[in-house]
Structure 1
Amino acid sequence: MASESPDSLGLGLDEPPQPAKAQPYRVLARKYRPQSFDELIGQDAMVRTLGNAIKRDRLAHAFLLTGVRGVGKTSTARLIAKALNCIGPDGQGGPTIEPCGVCEPCVAIAEGRHIDVVEMDAASNTGVDDVREIIEAVRYAAVSARYKVYIIDEVHMLSKNAFNALLKTLEEPPAHVKFLFATTEVNKVPVTVLSRCQRFDLRRISAEQLAAHFAEVAEKEGVEVEPEALALIARAAEGSARDGLSILDQAIAHGADGVTADQVRTMIGLSDRGAIRNLLGLLLAGDAQGALAVVKEQYDLGVEPAALLRGLLESVHGITRAKVGGAVDPAQSHEEREAYADWASRLSYAVIHRLWQLLLKGLGEVTTAAMPLEAAEMALLRVIHASELPDPGMLMEKLASGEAVPAASRAPAAPTAEEQGTMLKAPPSFAGLVDLLTNGGKPHLAQMLHDFVGLVRYEPPALAYRPLKQLAGDFERDLAAALKALTGTNWTVEASDGEAEPPLLEQEKMAADALRQSVLEEPIVKAAFEAFPDAELADYTLKDTRSA
């Protein structure tokens, strides 16, 4: 008797239907990786060059793809491998810039399982042994593809010996082998390798192209994203499609019913643009208390002080572009553009540039400071107090027109008795300064000043001179140090092109010549030369004719 199945006996033991296995989630950066050159954004020049090379059968044996992270270096390398090995839907095609994507080589390369397309990560395979495996394998023909392709990512991580081992094969590879190198730091790749490769510099993708690409991705994912949020993500991506897609992926997970600009700002730590405009308005109005209150409020909300100053710098840049009539930034809201236009009409270029320099200096200080919040507050207070300083251009105009320039509100403090005592040690004349150096154990510096320097200005503790010959590069530093040691005060020593006195040596020669000439003019000396025409004045001694 044949055995009966359990369900035929009516016991209800039949196997329940199994649910379909859910596909694991793939992040957007992997899901929307370009599968054809048409999907590769922002690299039109490279695609055109490769297309022409394939059509004319002028393919190089090695390509080097360089650029910042996330612009498509590895994706381009895989697309080139597809283009070289595509056989078309009918199996009769040749190399093409438009691979079909459905033939066996295209599908296998896209899935990363083609036996003749070898990807190697140089970051984890840095040694000469890893390269030796490639050298031994290139001798054998491809198994099923037209070309055997080696894709080496982050090639700059290879060791020096590994690069040297690869050089000969890279210079004269077999006809069936192509090398595709990708790197973010091309300066670390040896010149001997660069000279053997055809190099493509993949450019940063513009914010407009990234925003349009992210909008397409959001539409395919069925997610509503505000245009301003897309612009913010594109700006934060800094030209990298992968970075932008990662931020978009995070923003979609962050938002429940959609992605808004406020959510993106909160997520990536950007300060509120309205708060930035408010803070900038307080700075321009000179309201120190209000500005510090806004800084503290933003800090409590989680905005880093450096991000706050970067936002102020972006606003100043936006004002400058509005003043010169630059193109409209799609990431700016209508209120933001109106505020920038208003400030641009009221602020001069000098004020804008001074504001930019002060904020830029403040950002550098905040980035390196041990206390970023305090450093940011001090930087913004410096911006406010700088508005009280007179404009250098206006001062020059007043001086040129002869107008009186207002003095400083506070007179400089009088020197202390100790400072006066040290100043009294300075010699009253330049010649006395030279004697001081001679007697103070600095004869070489004294000789330089005596023989080869013309005096422009001597106002202790300041000395301006004009060199009559090339002096040592550290002459000023050594002279200032020697004078400080001898006089006890800091000296300012500088070379000048102004009108200068003759050097002391020349002055002494001129004085000696004048004295000699005065001796020759004496009547008794004239009479002696008339009596002895061939005589010469060898030496003379002057008698003191002053009365006692």
Structure 2
Amino acid sequence: MSYQVLARKYRPKSFDTLVGQEHVVRALTHALEQQRLHHAYLFTGTRGVGKTTLSRILAKSFNCETGITANPCGVCDACVAIDAGRFVDYIEMDAASNRGVDEMASLLEQAIYAPSNARFKVYMIDEVHMLTNHAFNAMLKTLEEPPEHVKFILATTDPQKIPVTVLSRCLQFNLKQMPPGHIVDHLENILGQEHIEFEQPALRLLAQGAHGSMRDALSLTDQAIAYAAGKVSLDAVQGMLGALDQSYLIRLLDALAENNGKALLDVADEMAARSLSYKSALQDLGTLLHQLAIAQMVPAAVADDLPEREQVLRLANVFNKEEVQLFYQIAVHGRNELALAPDEYAGFSMTLLRMLAFRPVDGGVLTQSGGTGISPAPRPGNGMPSAPVRGTVPATPAAPAASVKTAAVNAASAQQNVTNLITPAAANLSAASVAAPTVTGGVPAAKPMSPAMAALAAARAASAKAGSTTKPAAAKQEHDATALVTSSVPVPPVPPVASAFPAPVSAEAITPVVAQPVAPTAESAPVRTPTTARAAQEMEPVGMDDMPPPWDDDVWQASTSAPESATSPIPARNFQQASAVESAPSVAVSEAPAVVVPAVTTVANVEPASMDRTLWSGPVPELAWDGNWPVLAASLPVRGVAQQLAQQSELIHCRQDGNAFVFELRVPLSTLLSAGSVDKLSAALSERFSKNVRVESKIGAVELTANAKAVADREVRQQQAEQAIQNDSFVQTLMREFGATIVTGSVRPV
């Protein structure tokens, strides 16, 4: 007798012996016991999960001589014939090879006849999604209302390709993939019956290679028995499947733990010498990292029969949880990117080096260590708190911006505050953080924050108080004497806390251009700084949210009126401080001299316009044109670079040269003359005037262009729209009764 493969020899013959599909078995068993029989069943799932097996068991349940039952006897003629595949009234049809409408019509013609020696005629159509649309349409009516003696069982691996009209006529059961544990148990049972020696790790490897298919697992087991000459061992299965020895992965993780880049590349070179698959290596590395994460989070879930259990538990204590999660993500992405790498070795080695380069270290400090990789700062073990690393600022409870200004009790602490806050900003914020000043008088020190954060927090508080009642005299003295910080990053305001001082006082925001503090003198200690009327008028009705950002120099300069007096110690762009000073009465300060920060104004070097500003003006009677070049340029039917050439150039001269008219243009950029834009513009002008027009150009600064005219028109319409909103009676009512404000820049003309 010829050898019968394990997948056929041990095919389940009843619902009790079916593995891994309990949810389907339960539904079918209850339906058979209650005699609630449907006329069409659809089994879906990947290959080798039991679709054909279920259909045969269900056919035996329908036609068993003992009656319709969920437990067919398996010994009657009908059960034996169905198991042997020779039952007349059980027809298995492969839709992949019988997919046309003719085959389906022939099957349906036979369906009207009663079964020969059975209770039901069962049609099992495998891979039903392969049928053509005409074949599906031909079977719809019969599938919906078949004869009482006909049952349809459909099976497919791709239910998405089946028309919904067919799905709605069937009871659908989705067969799930086999878990590795179920496969291992089933293989143990079969190998025990076959009296074949095996190793438990080898069966686990076979279950992983089957990828959820029981038939694939049995086929691989057949192959392993032949490969190992009768004994299924781990070494034999690894050699047969080309699986990676786990010792390579353990060495890789040990090298990562030691931050040894050379050891990582040595392992990669050894794998290359043995022609091992790097894609499989990254897949197995991801599996090992997954086991490490389980060992760290749920130690009890680590399988006792795991071959590398001791190594997994050891490495789980070596790495932090964040490191394992990062390594897993890098391994998964590296496996997907192997096809994009120059070669698999480069992709694999770069993945390992990426783990080394982006390894998280407490405090974010990494130091170079010779040629062995990167040596991190000492790390605590799992579950231990991290110690602060040198160069960083430990977290402290939040403190209000008001407590920062309490350092103005004496002149020395005020000057030290300014030095601590301004110096890092002058160095382009190169320091990681600035330590909080120590405050005397029983007031706790403020939370250390960057100068930018402290400045804007203080500026928001000052803006909120700009329109309120007059400040107390003592608070005003502190306010005008020592509150100087810089700001360029928006942060939310910090709520005040209880203080030993009479009233909280906020620091004022100044210009981002910062210089070193100058020692105060009698002449350089003004009580208050005069500001322009325009700045005070603009800042009084609006809040801090309406101010332009401090880094937008153009907006600040546009919003500033005439320069301040040379004796003014505060820059004219400091609208917020100026407004706050104007809103308070003048108070002489003698206790704490003011710290003067000289303003530095930087003007961009702009190339002056061409000295030859002679432009064309006047009409051109020969062309019936009024000579307005910006209007003409905006109306020409050109696109792309030619359109930019027309709208960003100005007309120097228009003359007639024989039968042609020459338009001499001044162009700001030479790039506008590329891509044939001059020819396109000449063609558009020729079509516009119905005469031969030639365009000549020269490079130079321009002023009177169509683009400049459009910008000017937009500005006029914007001013008109803003004025209309300001004069609207309803808006004025909202501002007067509810304190509403108009957000600058939110008004758009229609």
Would you say 1:202 and 2:175 are equivalent positions? yes
Cα deviations by residue, 1:219-241 (Å, 9 ceiling, x for unpaired): 11111111111111112212211
C-alpha distance in 1 between matches for 2:11 and 2:21: 14
Kindly tell me: are residues 128 and 257 of structure 1, through their superposed partners in 2, closer, same or farther at Cα, counting changes over 3 Å?
closer
More displaced, 252-261 or 211-220?
Answer: 252-261
Would you say 1:405 and 2:378 are equivalent positions? no
Question: What is the match of residue 15 of structure 2?
Answer: 37
C-alpha distance in 2 between matches for 1:511 and 1:107: 94
Cα deviations by residue, 1:54-76 (Å, 9 ceiling, x for unpaired): 12111100000001111100110
C-alpha distance in 2 between matches for 1:514 and 1:308: 66
Amino acid at match of 1:75: T
2:268 aligns with one of 295, 301, 308: 295
The residue correspondences of 1:71-220 to structure 2 (distance < 5 A) are 71-87=49-65, 93-220=66-193
1:289 Cα deviation after fit: 2.4
Would you say 1:380 and 2:352 are equivalent positions? yes
Kindly tell me: are residues 214 and 128 of structure 1, through their superposed partners in 2, closer, same or farther at Cα, counting changes over 3 Å?
same
C-alpha distance in 2 between matches for 1:504 and 1:212: 82
Amino acid at match of 1:383: M
1:210 Cα deviation after fit: 0.9
Question: What is the match of residue 51 of structure 1?
Answer: 29
SS in 2 for 1:271: coil
Kindly tell me: are residues 440 and 136 of structure 1, through their superposed partners in 2, closer, same or farther at Cα, counting changes over 3 Å?
closer
1:329 Cα deviation after fit: 4.6
SS in 1 for 2:92: strand
1:512 Cα deviation after fit: 7.7
C-alpha distance in 1 between matches for 2:272 and 2:60: 51
C-alpha distance in 2 between matches for 1:313 and 1:331: 20
C-alpha distance in 2 between matches for 1:320 and 1:110: 46
Cα deviations by residue, 1:421-446 (Å, 9 ceiling, x for unpaired): xxxxxxx95899xx9xx998778xx9
Amino acid at match of 2:69: T
Question: What is the match of residue 540 of structure 2?
Answer: none
1:357 Cα deviation after fit: 2.0
Kindly tell me: are residues 62 and 399 of structure 1, through their superposed partners in 2, closer, same or farther at Cα, counting changes over 3 Å?
farther
Question: What is the match of residue 325 of structure 1?
Answer: 298
Kindly tell me: are residues 329 and 512 of structure 1, through their superposed partners in 2, closer, same or farther at Cα, counting changes over 3 Å?
closer
C-alpha distance in 2 between matches for 1:243 and 1:505: 75
Question: What is the match of residue 319 of structure 2?
Answer: 347
Q: Is the 8 A contact 1:231 1:330 kept in 2?
A: no
More displaced, 296-305 or 358-367?
Answer: 296-305
C-alpha distance in 1 between matches for 2:271 and 2:212: 28
Would you say 1:312 and 2:285 are equivalent positions? yes
1:403 Cα deviation after fit: 10
Amino acid at match of 1:56: Q
C-alpha distance in 2 between matches for 1:208 and 1:388: 35
Identity rate, percent: 39
Amino acid at match of 1:347: F
2:42 aligns with one of 43, 64, 70: 64
The count of corresponding residues between Structure 1 and Structure 2 is: 412
C-alpha distance in 2 between matches for 1:190 and 1:311: 39
SS in 2 for 1:169: helix
C-alpha distance in 2 between matches for 1:107 and 1:43: 23
Kindly tell me: are residues 510 and 120 of structure 1, through their superposed partners in 2, closer, same or farther at Cα, counting changes over 3 Å?
closer
Kindly tell me: are residues 442 and 324 of structure 1, through their superposed partners in 2, closer, same or farther at Cα, counting changes over 3 Å?
farther
SS in 2 for 1:180: strand
Amino acid at match of 1:375: G
1:112 Cα deviation after fit: 0.6
C-alpha distance in 2 between matches for 1:175 and 1:254: 51
* Greater relative CO (CA pairs within 8 A, separation 6+): 1
Question: What is the match of residue 284 of structure 1?
Answer: 257
Cα deviations by residue, 1:158-181 (Å, 9 ceiling, x for unpaired): 111111111010000000000001
C-alpha distance in 1 between matches for 2:719 and 2:150: 88
SS in 2 for 1:141: coil
Question: What is the match of residue 468 of structure 1?
Answer: none
SS in 2 for 1:205: coil
Q: Is the 8 A contact 2:322 2:360 kept in 1?
A: no
Q: Is the 8 A contact 1:211 1:234 kept in 2?
A: yes
Cα deviations by residue, 1:498-520 (Å, 9 ceiling, x for unpaired): xxxxx9989757878999xxxxx
1:399 Cα deviation after fit: 7.4
**Which structure 1 residue ranges, 5 or more long, are not aligned?**
1-22, 88-92, 407-427, 447-482, 489-502, 516-548
C-alpha distance in 2 between matches for 1:233 and 1:50: 31
C-alpha distance in 2 between matches for 1:58 and 1:51: 10
Q: Is the 8 A contact 1:313 1:360 kept in 2?
A: yes
Amino acid at match of 2:111: V
Cα deviations by residue, 1:216-273 (Å, 9 ceiling, x for unpaired): 1111111111111111111221221101001111111111351111211121111011
Amino acid at match of 1:352: V
SS in 1 for 2:173: strand
Q: Is the 8 A contact 2:7 2:218 kept in 1?
A: yes
Kindly tell me: are residues 376 and 50 of structure 1, through their superposed partners in 2, closer, same or farther at Cα, counting changes over 3 Å?
same
Kindly tell me: are residues 140 and 266 of structure 1, through their superposed partners in 2, closer, same or farther at Cα, counting changes over 3 Å?
same
Question: What is the match of residue 269 of structure 1?
Answer: 242
Amino acid at match of 2:5: V
Q: Is the 8 A contact 1:65 1:200 kept in 2?
A: yes
Structure 2 length-normalised TM? 0.50
Cα-Cα RMSD: 3.7
C-alpha distance in 1 between matches for 2:197 and 2:70: 34
Q: Is the 8 A contact 2:90 2:121 kept in 1?
A: yes
Amino acid at match of 1:79: I
Q: Is the 8 A contact 1:231 1:331 kept in 2?
A: no
Kindly tell me: are residues 370 and 122 of structure 1, through their superposed partners in 2, closer, same or farther at Cα, counting changes over 3 Å?
farther
Q: Which has the larger radius of gyration?
A: 2
Kindly tell me: are residues 315 and 145 of structure 1, through their superposed partners in 2, closer, same or farther at Cα, counting changes over 3 Å?
same
SS in 2 for 1:118: strand
Q: Is the 8 A contact 1:228 1:331 kept in 2?
A: no
Amino acid at match of 2:8: R
1:35 Cα deviation after fit: 1.2
Q: Is the 8 A contact 1:269 1:302 kept in 2?
A: no
SS in 2 for 1:208: helix
Cα deviations by residue, 1:67-108 (Å, 9 ceiling, x for unpaired): 111110011011101110000xxxxx2111111111001111
C-alpha distance in 1 between matches for 2:718 and 2:146: 81
**Which structure 2 residue ranges, 5 or more long, are not aligned?**
366-387, 396-428, 434-552, 559-605, 607-629, 635-639, 648-668, 675-710, 724-750
C-alpha distance in 2 between matches for 1:513 and 1:110: 87
Q: Is the 8 A contact 2:225 2:232 kept in 1?
A: yes
C-alpha distance in 2 between matches for 1:510 and 1:180: 73
Amino acid at match of 1:236: G
Question: What is the match of residue 522 of structure 2?
Answer: none
Kindly tell me: are residues 293 and 331 of structure 1, through their superposed partners in 2, closer, same or farther at Cα, counting changes over 3 Å?
farther
